Amino acid sequence: MLSYNGLMGAGVAASEAWMGIERLGEELIATVRVGPVDVSFDLPAVAVSLFVTALLVAVSIWLRRGLPREREGPLTQRAGFLAALLELSRSQLVAGFDEPLAKRVLPLTATLFLYILLCNWIGILPIPYIVSPTQNLNVPMGMAIMVYVLAHYYALRTRGVRLHLRSYLEPNPILLPMNIVGDMGRTLSHGFRLFGNILGGAILTALAPALLARAVFLLPFAFPVGVGLDLFFGIFVGTIQALVFALLASAYINLAVSS
Amino acid sequence: MDISGADLITMARYLAAGLCMGIGAIGPAIGQGMAASHALDGMARQPEMENSLLRTMIVGQAITESTGIYSLVVAIILVFVAG
């Protein structure tokens, strides 16, 4: 997919000594030849993504261990936390859904939310090569395509092939190409939204302090502006975009199943 | 210093990226502002609806934002990939 290796070379070479700007967009790519095709891996993204996954799994196991042994046992702290988390995601992500659909969709979208949230937050750390995996287009696009495929799968399972295919002919058979293109465009924008927000934030976080640092009288502002932008894009935009991605995923599945 | 064709292409790329992002940000900004203002109206009128209004507003704004994201992607391609 989109590759932006060594991208900053021409643009802002003058101010590259500042805050990782020389590393912006630089990737550690490992290429493996499988038969006739070259498969390349963005190593930091893979490593950080695996780390986030391992962290989530470990925390889940730890929380599961904290549940009371019997059904009517005393409520533990971890059980309370788990219940609050479940209730929050249920009320935010699948509010107003049919009960069987909500039960099926909630684990998926809650997992998407937590994974994307941690991926976005981990990009705050000012460590070289520790970047959000979500700023590699393959990660959000892969998740968006997964949601697309799952929406069709659920729709086929619950409504049958005939009824599902007929929904493409509504409200009018003339609109069939429009419906198909709209479906694809929705998935495309679903992936690009997360990718664009996180990558745009990362570029801005690296660029703005570098530009400020070029003017001597603005130099004192460079560091606070960099930290502020980092926290704003990492915590605020990261949380909103993770919520939006998970919300849209459940909304798309709900739309496909019940329209 | 001579200006060659490659320099002109580079200049055009940066100019186009700036225009693309600047003009492309107008529409989503207006749309998101309108969504927020109407959601605020609704919240002031019916404070008990705040939760669902906020959620719907965020989803609506996210969809409004996609045109801005498209121009961001085009600008990124212009600056970093094209040429």
A20: helix, strand or coil: coil
Question: Residue A206 belongs to what H/E stretch?
Answer: helix A176-214
Instruction: Kindly determine whether residue A251 and residue B59, on different chains, have CB atoms separated by under 8 Å.
Output: yes
Identify the residue among A193, A236, A237, A254 best suited for mutation to test binding to B, counting B beta carbons within 10 A and taking the highest: A193
CB A247 within 8 A of CB B59: yes
| DSSP character at residue A217 | G
| For range B43-58, the mean pLDDT | 89
**Residue B52 in contact with partner chain A when CB distance is under 8 A:** yes
Which helix (H) or strand (E) segment is A156 a member of?
helix A138-166
Closest CA to A87 of B39, B49, B51: B51
DSSP string for B31-77 = HHHHHHHHHHHHHHH-GGGHHHHHHHHHHHHHHHHHHHHHHHHHHHI
Q: What is the pLDDT of residue A203?
A: 86
- Average pLDDT taken over every residue of chain B: 90
Q: Tell me, what's the pLDDT at A13?
A: 39
- Whole-angstrom distance, CA of residue A71 vs CA of residue A89: 23
DSSP conformation letters of A74-128: PPPHHHHHHHHHHHHHHHHHSTT--HHHHHHHHHHHHHHHHHHHHHHHHTTS--T
- Does residue B34 belong to the interface with chain A, where contact is any CB pair within 8 Å? no
Closest partner CB to B81 (pick from A4, A241, A248): A4
In terms of Cβ atoms closer than 10 Å to its own Cβ (0-12, 13-18, 19+), residue A144 is buried
Could you count the other beta carbons within 10 Å of the beta carbon of residue B11?
A: 11
User: Which residue is associated with the tokens 């059904």?
Assistant: A71
Which of A133, A128, A114 minimizes the C-alpha distance to A49?
A133
Contact B79 A92 (CB under 8 A): no
Confirm whether the ipTM is greater than 0.95. Answer: no
Per-residue model confidence (pLDDT) at position A23: 53
In the block, tokens 């963005």 appear at A42
Tell me if B62 and A244 make a contact (CB, 8 A cut-off).
Answer: yes
Q: Is the peptide bond before A171 cis (omega within 30 degrees of 0)?
A: yes
Global pTM? 0.84
Average pLDDT over residues B19-31: 94
B8 in A contact zone (CB under 8 Å)? no
Of B63, B72, B81, the CB nearest to A196: B72
Beta bridge partners of A88: none
**Any B CB within 8 A of A94 CB:** no
Q: Nearest 5°: CA angle at A16, between A12 and A19?
A: 120
Q: Which two tokens stand for residue A167?
A: 């929904």
- Mutant choice from B7, B72, B74 vs A, greatest count of A C-beta within 10 A: B72
Cβ atoms of A197 and B69 within 8 Å: the answer is yes
A248 contacts in B (CB within 8 Å)?
Answer: 59, 62-63
Nearest to B58 among A197, A199, A243 (CB): A243
Per-residue pLDDT of chain A (259 residues), as tens digits, is: 333 444 433 334 334 434 445 555 556 777 777 778 888 788 888 899 999 999 999 999 998 888 877 777 777 888 888 889 889 888 888 887 888 888 889 999 999 999 999 999 998 888 877 888 998 889 999 999 999 999 999 999 888 888 888 888 878 888 888 888 988 888 999 999 999 999 888 888 888 888 888 888 888 888 888 899 999 999 999 999 999 999 999 989 988 888 6
**What's the confidence (pLDDT) of residue A40?**
79
Judged by a CB distance cut-off of 8 A, whether residue A152 touches chain B is no
- Inform me whether the C-beta atom of residue A29 falls under 8 Å from chain B C-beta atoms: no
Residue-wise DSSP of B1-29 = ----HHHHHHHHHHHHHHHHHHHHTHHHH
Contact B2, B60 (CB under 8 A): no
Q: Would you call B55 and A193 a contact, using CB atoms and an 8 Å cutoff? A: no
